[in-house]
Chains A and B, each alone.
Chain A
Amino acid sequence: MKTQAFDVVVIGGGPGGYAAAFFAASSGKKVCLIDKRAELGGTCLNEGCIPSKALIHATEVMHLAKTAGEFGLTFSKPKVDLDKLRKWKQSIIKKLNDGIAGLCKKKNVTFIKGRAYIEETHLLRVETEAGQQFISFENAIIATGSQPALPATFDLGNKRIMTSTEALELEDVPKTMLVVGGGYIGMELGSVYASLGSKVTIIEAMSGILAGADQDLIRPVMAVAKENFELLIFNAKVSKMATKGKQIEVNYAVDGKQKKSLFDKVLISVGRTPNSVNIGLDNIEIKTDEKGFIVVNEQLQTNHSHIYAIGDVAGGVLLAHKASKEASIAVESILGHRVTKESMVIPCVVFTDPEIAWCGLTETEAKEKGIAIETSKFSWAASGRALSLGRTDGLTKLILEKDTQKILGMGIVGPGASELIAEGCLAISNGLYAADLAETVHAHPTLSETIMESAELFFGHSAHAYNPKVEQKSTV
């Protein structure tokens, strides 16, 4: 059988995989990109970030229409055409799929649709519709991603029990819905269904939603969630699910008491598992950790130094932009540059209402690690732009290294937080100080001003807020 030879072969066509393939190709490598789907873009584009944001945008319009009454605009109750919404969402995905496929051609990246298995240290077998193909390579990048976790006890083979993948298909709007897991996927998709009319219950094993985010940022999200959702249950553990006619009976324990409820649909969002099985890792003994994530070093190299793993399958935070950044580090390493992922600043963004975003060090982390910090918090109640948007529940927070005031972290809650956080990433990765942000002119009236003002507030000269700790008393 003929074996095709490539410099670099990338397994998985998501935001890590295609970024790696394109960068390697642009750097003069002969590249092969393999994905089990015919469409490129991976989970992110096909059943993750992009479709969820499309749906969230649609429901935001509904929410805005509802609240516009406050400033004298009233709309009649919107009519939801699910087919049209689904088609619109699909058209966005299609456009982006085609865009990536076009780039793939332009960059002379050979795309193969099929399942790849590592056979030997420099050989892949690919199962395609046309049969087996063998591919030899100098370097390989494993970017197979992750999939929604579905614990066996919940896997009844009943379509009413969904993961994020099925929930994004938006088959219907159930009357009642249970979301198991109050992380970002559960909160985002729960909000979509709630806006469309479902009575949504969130059940979470921990004491609060969005583990990892600071409490002061979560507070405004919780306030909205309490209005939008039927019920939020914390410190609760789901023990059993059973089909009861056209409904699902859910048994759960809270405060040591067993409870039972019926829901039309259930969304399981309890995390994601790495796609590290059935890709031939065992054939050459590529090491994985106890959860199945591939073990990599600072250069994203596996225990076979010519084979890299990036993105979700390599663990860490499971976010598309982290995968893309790792793609460039891995390719640079293949190109012979000395690089490290050590100083990556990865922003975390949750598209709840309102949005939450943070990057670098959080207050919680600083406390856990015993890092001496100072914070400066600017409430959006003092922002003209926030008021004019009718959203004053936002907050912008700086986390500064004690004594030096170097910016170590930033946290934002409020509409547009997902866009604003970029400035925090820029500041942290470039080692800026609070003074640098305070000295940089920000346009008025914008939400971005809150970043400058939070820095100014630290020094006591914010034009719109008061910090009694640093006010200088007049000597007159």
Chain B
Amino acid sequence: MEIKIPNLGDGIDSAIVISLLVKEGDTVTKDQTLIELETDKAVAPVPSPAAGTITSLTVKEGDTVANGTLIGHLDGGGESSSEPASAAPVQTAPAPVPVKAPSSVPAQTASVAIPKPVYNESVATSVSIQKLAYRIGLDLRYISGTGSSGRITETDLINHIAYLQSLLNQPSAAVESTPKPEVVLPDFEKWGTVDVEKCSPLRKKIAEKMVTAWQTVPHVTQQLDVDITGLMALRKKYNPAYQKKGAKLTLTVFAIKAVQRALEKFPQFNASYDAVKNEIIKKKYYHMGIAVDTENGLIVPVIKDVDKKSLLTLAKELAEIADKAKDRTLSVEELQGSTFTISNLGGLGVGAFTPIINTPEVAILGIGSGEFKPTGDGKTLALKMPTCLSYDHRIIDGADGARFAMEVKNQFETLSESEIKEIS
């Protein structure tokens, strides 16, 4: 059977193959990851449509693929590919631009002739053209001459400048060709032995995303302790019932609920900011991103429509996506569309921290490990959980940040027993 690229998700036209996890002749199980793709949103695995043996694999690392692109064949599966055969494969390379041969007669049209790449050490041209070229910084050795014996004429110079100008009008090409500034590291071996490891494409993606978020968004982190003494008691009381239903009540589950309710009251936290148009896009849906620690690195799967789901459903889905993240079997669909993100490091025993916003979202809630601290009267102890709200200060003012943090705290502290025990 044919193996094709499944639907990559809305708004994603193509993806780049970044790694091949199987090779021809390998026996695979259904849903085993065959290749990994990188889209502009995330790294996504392509699962095997069935169990069987890979008879061919027709893509290689670096190829561009789209929905329905044939990537290989599977023997022994029997079932047909889940994707419709009608999906047309796309070209993996841009169509060649037609090259217009340089003509000795000056073209009077607006079209720009694409010059032949040349390098000619022995340049022949008039002294005035040499002077002009030097003045504007053109290296005549790279300009093809159409005059007698390859002489560079004034028209050649004009055509070449027009061609250079036309390159500037292709922003995508120009941007892509702009080399990133290189940071040259010292030779660390001067001071001792080192180990150099190649990083995964996922690591590169994480690095780029973090840099973008850090550089474009002015972060403020508001910290606030939440009293979870009561909540933890309720958790202890009802967790066995949840476990019977194959779910586990965790603080993250409570956090999803608390945050979603706070978001309803503060819609600007469930938004994105378009700096170019100077617009705030407020989303009427609540899709929660959950930061998951995997051995390959940070992955943020998404639980959709959390406002419409019960604690039980959320608990089940949370466990499911966390497992998928660890197995690298999440679909691209499951990695997209979050409107807010929660990062719970409480399980690692740490306190407050400063989470980085999962752009283009505008806020993220970090959760630390609870500690017993004296209450207001100083006589009793309460279990206080540090929450850390990082928000985008471009569109959220400090007072609103404080109000939202207070609202989240309030939601945590007022989660009702009736809601928790409602397991249907």
Chain B residues near A432 (CB-CB < 8 A):
124
Instruction: List residues of A (416-467) whose CB comes within 8 Å of B's CBs.
Output: 429-433, 435-436
Chain A residues near B151 (CB-CB < 8 A):
431
Instruction: Tell me if A322 counts as interface (CB < 8 A to partner B).
Output: no
Instruction: Tell me if B137 counts as interface (CB < 8 A to partner A).
Output: yes
Instruction: Tell me if B252 counts as interface (CB < 8 A to partner A).
Output: no
Q: How far is the CB of B141 from chain A (nearest CB, A)?
A: 12
Chain A residues near B148 (CB-CB < 8 A):
433, 435-436
Instruction: Tell me if B278 counts as interface (CB < 8 A to partner A).
Output: no
Chain B residues near A404 (CB-CB < 8 A):
122, 149
Instruction: Tell me if B399 counts as interface (CB < 8 A to partner A).
Output: no
Q: Are A338 and B137 in contact (CB under 8 A)?
A: yes
Q: Are A343 and B127 in contact (CB under 8 A)?
A: yes
Instruction: Tell me if A339 counts as interface (CB < 8 A to partner B).
Output: yes
- Evaluate whether A406 and B124 lie within 8 angstroms (CB atoms) in the complex, with A338-B136, A338-B137 already known: yes
Instruction: List residues of B (309-365) whose CB comes within 8 Å of A's CBs.
Output: none
Instruction: List residues of A (376-424) whose CB comes within 8 Å of B's CBs.
Output: 401, 404, 406
Instruction: Tell me if B375 counts as interface (CB < 8 A to partner A).
Output: no
- Evaluate whether A339 and B131 lie within 8 angstroms (CB atoms) in the complex, with A431-B151, A433-B149, A435-B149 already known: yes
- Evaluate whether A433 and B124 lie within 8 angstroms (CB atoms) in the complex, with A343-B130, A404-B149 already known: yes
Chain B residues near A87 (CB-CB < 8 A):
none
A339 to B123, CA, bound (A): 18
Instruction: Tell me if B134 counts as interface (CB < 8 A to partner A).
Output: yes
A340 nearest CB neighbor, chain B only: B134
Instruction: List residues of B (108-125) whose CB comes within 8 Å of A's CBs.
Output: 122-125
A432 to B150, CA, bound (A): 11
The size of the chain A interface, using a CB distance under 8 A, is 15
Q: Are B122 and A401 in contact (CB under 8 A)?
A: yes
Binary contact track B126-149/A, C-beta < 8 Å → 1, others 0 = 110011001111000000000011
Instruction: Tell me if A337 counts as interface (CB < 8 A to partner B).
Output: yes
- A positions within 8 Å CB-CB of B: 337-340, 343, 401, 404, 406, 429-433, 435-436
Q: How far is the CB of B400 from chain A (nearest CB, A)?
A: 53
Q: Are B127 and A338 in contact (CB under 8 A)?
A: no
Q: Please, could you name 28 A-B residue pairs with CB atoms under 8 Å apart, sorted by A? A: A338-B134, A338-B135, A338-B136, A339-B134, A339-B135, A343-B127, A343-B130, A401-B122, A404-B122, A404-B149, A406-B122, A406-B149, A429-B127, A430-B125, A430-B127, A431-B123, A431-B124, A431-B125, A431-B126, A431-B130, A431-B151, A432-B124, A433-B124, A433-B148, A433-B149, A435-B148, A435-B149, A436-B148
The 5 closest A-B pairs by CB, nearest first: A431-B124, A429-B127, A430-B126, A338-B135, A433-B149
Chain A residues near B124 (CB-CB < 8 A):
406, 431-433
Most chain A beta carbons < 10 A, residue from B125, B131, B135, B136 = B131
Interface size class, chain B: 10 to 19
Chain A residues near B135 (CB-CB < 8 A):
337-339
Q: How far is the CB of A329 from chain B (nearest CB, A)?
A: 10
Q: How far is the CB of B195 from chain A (nearest CB, A)?
A: 48
Q: How far is the CB of A200 from chain B (nearest CB, A)?
A: 41
Q: How far is the CB of B146 from chain A (nearest CB, A)?
A: 14
A403 nearest CB neighbor, chain B only: B122
Most chain A beta carbons < 10 A, residue from B122, B124, B148 = B124
A432 to B148, CA, bound (A): 10
A406 to B152, CA, bound (A): 14
A430 to B136, CA, bound (A): 19
B131 nearest CB neighbor, chain A only: A339
A429 nearest CB neighbor, chain B only: B127
Q: How far is the CB of A399 from chain B (nearest CB, A)?
A: 14
A401 to B136, CA, bound (A): 28
Q: How far is the CB of A420 from chain B (nearest CB, A)?
A: 19
A408 nearest CB neighbor, chain B only: B122
A431 nearest CB neighbor, chain B only: B124
Instruction: List residues of B (284-314) whose CB comes within 8 Å of A's CBs.
Output: none
Instruction: List residues of B (242-280) whose CB comes within 8 Å of A's CBs.
Output: none
Most chain B beta carbons < 10 A, residue from A343, A401, A431, A436 = A431
Chain A residues near B136 (CB-CB < 8 A):
338
A340 to B133, CA, bound (A): 11
A339 to B126, CA, bound (A): 15
Given A406-B124, A435-B148, 10 other A-B contacts at CB below 8 A?
A337-B135, A338-B135, A338-B137, A340-B134, A404-B122, A404-B149, A431-B123, A433-B148, A433-B149, A435-B149
B125 nearest CB neighbor, chain A only: A431
Instruction: List residues of B (140-188) whose CB comes within 8 Å of A's CBs.
Output: 148-149, 151
Chain B residues near A343 (CB-CB < 8 A):
127, 130
Q: How far is the CB of B127 from chain A (nearest CB, A)?
A: 4
Q: How far is the CB of A426 from chain B (nearest CB, A)?
A: 8
Chain B residues near A401 (CB-CB < 8 A):
122
B123 nearest CB neighbor, chain A only: A431
A433 to B137, CA, bound (A): 25
A137 to B131, CA, bound (A): 28
Q: How far is the CB of B131 from chain A (nearest CB, A)?
A: 7
Q: How far is the CB of A371 from chain B (nearest CB, A)?
A: 11
Chain B residues near A430 (CB-CB < 8 A):
125-127
A10 to B341, CA, bound (A): 71
Chain A residues near B134 (CB-CB < 8 A):
338-340
Chain A residues near B123 (CB-CB < 8 A):
431
Q: How far is the CB of B238 from chain A (nearest CB, A)?
A: 79
A339 to B134, CA, bound (A): 7
A435 to B150, CA, bound (A): 13
A430 to B148, CA, bound (A): 13
Chain B residues near A339 (CB-CB < 8 A):
131, 134-135
A62 to B64, CA, bound (A): 88
A429 to B124, CA, bound (A): 9
Chain A residues near B131 (CB-CB < 8 A):
339
